[in-house]
Structure formats: structure tokens, C-alpha cells
């Protein structure tokens, strides 16, 4: 440990919380009481409150050998904001709980919190509480996000109707290919002192993996255009998995066209380099944090004009099931092969 | 693994969540949307929303060698409810996130959830979401609790005034002595096949450690009697630590009388058996989940008549500091020696 580093035990639990949270401004008058009491107090008046939570565990959701702590903090906040936007709501407050192993210094946590703080600034969210503890094992990050939505404006997974158009924002598969690249460079470079990873021209897929954004812009754009999706979900586990969630919750089937799935050029190049199936990466890769939603057929023309949104298929009667229509016109049943946190136990 | 046990991977993440959460009824019309979407939706109308969160880590906050999973689930919920009551609010919803190591079966998680469910039933709280993941290390439980409070009725740590009476519910130190007993019996019994732990006549301190309750009854009693505390906190880290929180937040000092601190007979016997200082156990033991609060001097007579509440001292001007008045009349400065999750790193 060099001289700039501070042992967490020097500050103690409350000293640490003070240090980590003191620079977070309260941005909403709605936030009546933030960090520093038994609980936070929020005033939501006549809006509905929206709540989501995510648990990130070292060795399962992230690998500190190649994920910078600032980025990890940023991403940990973003994945929660993304869930709130997926309800057509706005994130307003978060609580952050940390389990910290003894190899961490205060400066490490400063870095983690600087990423959380940046995300809170950009997305206009208040930090209002949390819990901080030692961990005998790896780093644990548990974030709960609270948002609000005007009554009647919420969008659930359950409202999709046959003939609705299936839309997705941005492009898919990039975060997954970014992860493959990071893992490869990490294993190639292991033990080599002056190893320089080869990231040139691959900035986009790396950023998609390390520093994703939540699609606040899409929610605002849809509102501006007067479009209210009939169902919506964010793409965290992979397009296949999310399509099945919408179909199951809405009691419908779907057809999605392989050639309509939006994929970035860097993602395609990387898949080729890895000799991976590009569509599989896009369908099952996950961590895209794009919005998958359905709109009535009558919104077709409006959506067509909107940048950054792709129409990839349509909703069917339930008995038709969920299928991918391949380039040659055949249908392949969609199965959830997205990221599953319990998969590891089968391998 | 015997034939009744089910591997978690057999169910997968979503199957597991379905199984664990399906028997939780929604009890509040306020809960518009519960488990099964990107986020829950709550309608709080004209009340304020109260939010708290707690992170429990295996090896730090609990030891599965002597904590039954049902009790662990119950306690994990209770510690959050206790924080909500400490704001003079009512718990309404929780989210439960779990990190589960591979040695756990579905039946283990059923047991954990049965404890959470029992707590939710008794305290009238809805489960509205969560996140479930594999963990490469120990069990991780992160619970966030949401409550409500009429505007203006909230009680913070910061309202104590000089001459206010300091009150505490129930008795202190029992959960700490229960933990000492569990640890002793566990180490005595280690490796002995037919070892029978000696728990006779010690049921109270064991229950205080393993299955604590949150003081909903005290909140209701105070309301009924027309008493609104000027400040309040729940005793999770130990009386000393909580007194200092109130003093710091309120900008005051305090005097607490050693002989007024409520201690149960079993706690006293156990302390004697362990040759421990009883007052130290009561001051610094923690995990009591009692309510520590201050009331104006004018409420003295009302409080005196209320069962289960002890008046233990009074609030002073800040320059007098926080001190314990011992049985012989001398003053000892109160220092926070309560439970600190980072203490282990110093040892």
C-alpha cells in the first residue's frame, strides 16, 4: 500500500459513509431527507413511486482485473436507472449498499463512488441512503433505485397486443463482444509485464461493456412524439430472454426478423474475429441496456422517422409462439439463452 | 444431497424467483405492481415515502452454523422494519436481493423465504421485487424497505432538545449475550457428534439474537397516547453508538444513568456466567432493535405510566458532552464501541 492509500478501518463505518456521500448534492425538492438517518424520506405527491433493485457480485457480474472501479460504479447505477426507464418512469433516488473486502482502501471506494456520482449527476438522481460493511469475500454492490411516473403513464411488460410492432433502441450484442475482447486480452496479457492490450478501433464495444448508458433519451423522444408503448422492458439478459418476458407477461407470441436486428459494425467485426455467430451474440449476449418495446401498428409512420429506433418484428396471437424469422425465411423458436446467474453451476 | 433437495440450476433464475415469491400475497392497495416487471409501482398519494436498506453478509453478520435459515430470513426483514419504525413510519413494501452460493439448494432458499414471509405477514408488508444471483462466495442478503408516514409526523435523529427525556423500549444487551452463548455452544460442540447445547432457561436471550422483533407496538402506543418523540433511532449497533448519533444529529449532549438501563434477568445471569461487564454488554452489544427516543419533559407523567418504556436520562446542552452517570455518581464519557463492521480489520 503506497502512502496515499488509507485503510478503511482508519475511518470506521460512519466516517467512511460520511466521506463517500458528502459530495452528493440533493437535486430534488422531493428528497426531504437523505443520507444520515434510519431511513430517507421522499415526497411523491400525486405521482406513483417506482422501485427496482440490483445486486452485483464480484466474480459473477464483474471482474476487477479489467473493470476500472469508476466504471463499475457508473454501470451499477445505470443498470438500475435502465429498469426505471423501462417502466416509462424517471429515476429520482438511489440507495447504495457495499460489502467491501479487506484488500480495498478508502481510495478504491472513492473511485467507485466517483462513478456512481457521475451517473447521478448525468441522470439527475439523488443518493439517499445505503449500508456499508466489511465483506470476508469479494466486493458486493447492492443498489435500489426509486423513480416516479405520472399515474396512468407507466408501461409494464404485460400490455403487448397482436399486430403491435416490436421496436428496440440502439444496437445489440456490442457489450457482449466487448466482454469477450476484455477477457481475451486479460488472459493473453496474464503474467506479461509490459503487455499492451489491442483495443484500437474497438472503443465502441468496450464502452458498451464498461460504461453503458440508460436510454433516458428514448423515453423523452417517445413522450415528445406522443407515443406510449403498450409494453416495455430493458435488454439486460439478452433480446431472446426479454422477448419471452414480454410474450409471457402479455400472453402473446411474436415474430422477429433476423435481418432487422440492429448490430453495430464493430460488433460484427469482433464476432468474425472470434468466429462467433453474430446473431447469437445479439440475441443472447445481454447487458445492452437498450429498450425493447411494442407500439400499436398505427404508430408505424411515427416510429419510422425516429432515429435510433429499429422495428424488428411484430406481436402475434399466443398460439403462434415466439420465433425468429431467419434471412432465408424459415422460423426458429426463440429460447431464452440469455445470461443466467445460475448457469455456472451446470458447467 | 438427499432426494428431497433440488439444485437451484434446475429452476434457473426466473423459475427460482417465481417459486420463492409466488406465495407472498399483496396486502396493500398502495402496491399497484409487485414482483415480475422491471420495477414495482407504488401509490403513496399524499403521504411521504420512507426508504431504508440493509446488507447482510455471511461470515460478517451471520454464521450459518448456528443460525437457522428461517430465522435469518425473519431477522433480515425485521432489521429493515425497525429502521422504518424509527422514523415514526410504517413499513409497507420490501425488495429482497439474494446472492446464493452453490452449496445452497432450493429448499434452503424456501426456508429463508418462509422466514421473510412470516415477517411480512406479521408486520403487514408486501414483497415487491428483488434480484437473485449466484454467488461465488457466501450468502448475501440485501433488503430494501419502503414505508409511509403522514406529512409532518416523521421523527428524525435531529430533533432532541436540552431537558428532553431519553427513553428506550424493552431491554438491552440480551441479543449480544445470546450471540455469546451461541458461539460458545458452537465451539464447545465442534466435532462432537451427539453434542447437546445447553440452552435451558436461556430461551429469551436466544430469541432476542435469532428472532428479534421490531417495535411496531411502541410506535402505536406513543401515537395512541398523543406523544410525538422529538428524535428517534433504533438500537442496532448498541445504545452508546445510537446515543451519539442523536447527540451529533441534534447538536446536544446527554446524561444517561447506569442504573436506569433496562436489562433482563437472563441477560444479567449470562453476563455473570461469562464474567462480562453487564453494562458494557447493554451499552455496546447491539442488535437489540429497541427504539431509543427523546420526548419533551412535559411528557414525563405519560411515559411513566407506559409499560415497556424506560426513562434512562436526559438531553443536555452540547458543551456538556455525552456521559454515563455510574451507580456511584461519577460520569464516564460515552464512546461508540458498538458493533462496527470494519472492526475485524484492526484485529
pTM of the model: 0.91
Q: What is the count of residue pairs from A and B with beta carbons less than 8 Å apart?
A: 250
Q: What pLDDT does A341 receive?
A: 55
Hey, of A39, A125, A127, A292, which one would you mutate to test binding to chain B, going by the most B CBs within 10 A of its CB?
A: A39
Question: Would you tell me how many other CB atoms lie within 10 Å of the CB of residue B216?
Answer: 17
- By the 8 A CB rule, do B210 and B176 touch? no
Mean pLDDT value of segment A8-20: 76
Q: What pLDDT does B346 receive?
A: 34
Question: Would you tell me how many other CB atoms lie within 10 Å of the CB of residue B341?
Answer: 22
Q: Which residues of B touch A57 (CB under 8 A)?
A: 99, 133-137, 140
Task: Give the three cell numbers for residue B81.
Answer: 422494519
Please indicate if any CB of chain A lies within 8 Å of the CB of B149: yes
User: CA B49 → CA A90, A146, B37, B89, distances in Å?
Assistant: 16, 10, 21, 9
Question: Would you tell me how many other CB atoms lie within 10 Å of the CB of residue B32?
Answer: 18
- What pLDDT digit, counting tens, does each position of B84-137 carry? 999 999 999 999 999 998 888 888 999 999 999 999 999 999 998 888 888 887
Confidence of residue A345 (pLDDT cuts 50, 70, 90): very low
Q: What pLDDT does A149 receive?
A: 92
- What pLDDT digit, counting tens, does each position of A281-337 carry? 999 999 999 999 999 999 999 999 999 999 999 999 999 999 999 999 999 999 876
**Residue B181 pLDDT > 50:** yes
| Cβ-nearest to A48 among B43, B97, B137 | B43
Q: Residue B99 and residue A140: Cβ atoms within 8 Å?
A: yes
Q: Residue B99 and residue A134: Cβ atoms within 8 Å?
A: no
| Cβ-nearest to B55 among A8, A48, A97 | A97
> Which stretches of A22-105 are DSSP H helices?
69-85
User: CA A309 → CA A169, A229, A306, B214, B288, distances in Å?
Assistant: 4, 13, 6, 49, 54
| Cβ-nearest to B345 among A9, A57, A342 | A9
- By the 8 A CB rule, do A92 and B39 touch? no
Distance CA A342, CA A326 (A): 30
Q: Residue B154 and residue A33: Cβ atoms within 8 Å?
A: yes
Q: What pLDDT does B345 receive?
A: 36
| Cβ-nearest to A37 among B8, B87, B136 | B87
Please indicate if any CB of chain B lies within 8 Å of the CB of A125: no
- What pLDDT digit, counting tens, does each position of A135-151 carry? 887 899 999 999 999 98
**Residue B40 pLDDT > 90:** no
Please indicate if any CB of chain B lies within 8 Å of the CB of A339: no
Q: What pLDDT does B337 receive?
A: 67
Q: What pLDDT does B169 receive?
A: 98
Please indicate if any CB of chain A lies within 8 Å of the CB of B338: no
**Residue A59 pLDDT > 50:** yes
Burial class (CB in 10 A: 0-12, 13-18, 19+), B1: exposed
Distance CA B330, CA B31 (A): 53
* High-pLDDT (> 90) share of chain B, %: 69
User: CA B253 → CA B247, B249, B316, B318, B334, distances in Å?
Assistant: 6, 11, 5, 4, 10
A143 DSSP β-pair partners: A54, A96
B78 DSSP β-pair partners: none
Mean pLDDT value of segment B185-206: 83
- Average pLDDT over chain B reads 90
- Nearest in space to A119 (alpha carbons), one of A84, A152, A153, A88: A84
Please indicate if any CB of chain A lies within 8 Å of the CB of B279: no
Q: Residue B37 and residue A343: Cβ atoms within 8 Å?
A: no
For residue B265, the SS3 value is helix
Q: What pLDDT does B347 receive?
A: 30
| Cβ-nearest to B131 among A12, A55, A340 | A55
**Residue B341 pLDDT > 70:** no
* High-pLDDT (> 90) share of chain A, %: 69
- Block residue for cell numbers 434457473: B12
Please indicate if any CB of chain A lies within 8 Å of the CB of B33: yes
- What pLDDT digit, counting tens, does each position of A91-105 carry? 999 999 999 988 888
Better pLDDT: A344 or A183 = A183
Q: Which residues of A touch B7 (CB under 8 A)?
A: 345
- By the 8 A CB rule, do A55 and B97 touch? yes
Please indicate if any CB of chain B lies within 8 Å of the CB of A10: no
Q: Residue A142 and residue B53: Cβ atoms within 8 Å?
A: yes
Give the β-pairing of B31-33 and B40-43.
antiparallel
Q: Residue A44 and residue B41: Cβ atoms within 8 Å?
A: no
- What pLDDT digit, counting tens, does each position of B260-311 carry? 999 999 999 999 999 999 999 999 999 999 999 999 999 999 999 999 999 9
Hey, of B10, B49, B139, B145, which one would you mutate to test binding to chain A, going by the most A CBs within 10 A of its CB?
A: B49
- What pLDDT digit, counting tens, does each position of A192-207 carry? 777 777 788 899 999 9
Q: What pLDDT does A178 receive?
A: 96
Which H or E element spans position A127? Answer: strand A126-134
- What pLDDT digit, counting tens, does each position of B206-257 carry? 999 999 999 999 999 999 999 999 999 999 999 999 999 999 999 999 999 9
Q: Residue A38 and residue B86: Cβ atoms within 8 Å?
A: yes
User: CA A315 → CA A164, A230, A281, A302, A332, distances in Å?
Assistant: 5, 11, 23, 18, 16
Please indicate if any CB of chain A lies within 8 Å of the CB of B297: no
Distance between the two ends of chain B, CA-based, in angstroms? Answer: 37
Q: What pLDDT does B134 receive?
A: 86
Q: What pLDDT does A339 receive?
A: 53
Better pLDDT: A317 or B44 = A317
Amino acid at each position: 500500500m503506497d502512502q496515499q492509500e488509507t485503510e478503511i478501518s482508519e475511518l470506521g463505518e460512519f466516517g467512511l459513509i460520511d466521506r463517500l456521500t458528502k459530495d452528493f448534492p440533493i437535486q430534488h425538492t422531493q428528497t426531504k431527507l437523505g443520507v444520515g438517518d434510519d431511513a430517507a424520506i421522499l415526497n411523491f405527491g400525486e405521482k406513483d413511486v417506482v422501485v427496482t433493485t440490483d445486486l452485483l457480485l464480484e466474480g459473477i457480474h464483474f471482474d476487477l482485473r479489467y473493470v476500472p472501479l469508476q466504471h463499475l460504479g457508473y454501470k451499477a447505477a445505470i443498470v438500475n436507472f435502465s429498469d426505471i426507464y423501462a417502466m416509462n418512469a424517471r429515476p429520482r433516488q438511489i440507495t447504495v449498499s457495499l460489502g467491501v473486502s479487506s484488500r480495498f482502501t478508502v481510495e478504491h471506494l472513492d473511485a467507485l463512488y466517483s462513478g456512481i456520482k457521475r451517473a447521478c449527476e448525468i441522470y439527475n438522481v439523488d443518493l439517499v441512503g445505503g449500508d456499508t460493511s466489511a465483506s470476508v469475500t469479494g466486493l458486493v454492490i447492492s443498489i435500489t433505485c426509486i423513480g416516479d411516473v405520472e399515474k396512468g403513464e407507466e408501461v409494464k411488460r404485460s400490455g403487448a397486443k397482436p399486430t403491435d410492432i416490436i421496436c428496440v433502441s440502439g444496437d445489440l450484442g456490442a457489450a457482449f463482444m466487448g466482454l469477450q475482447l476484455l477477457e481475451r486480452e486479460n488472459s493473453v496479457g496474464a503474467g506479461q509485464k509490459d503487455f499492451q492490450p489491442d483495443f484500437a478501433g474497438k472503443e465502441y464495444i468496450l464502452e458498451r461493456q464498461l460504461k453503458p448508458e440508460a436510454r433516458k433519451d428514448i423515453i423523452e423522444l417517445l413522450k415528445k412524439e406522443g407515443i406510449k408503448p403498450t409494453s416495455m422492458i430493458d435488454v439486460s439478459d439478452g433480446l431472446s430472454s426479454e422477448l419471452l418476458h414480454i410474450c409471457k407477461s402479455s400472453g402473446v407470441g411474436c415474430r422477429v426478423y433476423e435481418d432487422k436486428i440492429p448490430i453495430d459494425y464493430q460488433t460484427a467485426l469482433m464476432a468474425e474475429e472470434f468466429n462467433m455467430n453474430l446473431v447469437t451474440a445479439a440475441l443472447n449476449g445481454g447487458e445492452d441496456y437498450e429498450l425493447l418495446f411494442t407500439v400499436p401498428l398505427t404508430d408505424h409512420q411515427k416510429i419510422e422517422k425516429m432515429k435510433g429506433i429499429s422495428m424488428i418484428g411484430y406481436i402475434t396471437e399466443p398460439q403462434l409462439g415466439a420465433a425468429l424469422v431467419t434471412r432465408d425465411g424459415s422460423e426458429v423458436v426463440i429460447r431464452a439463452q440469455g445470461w443466467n446467474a445460475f448457469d455456472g453451476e451446470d458447467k
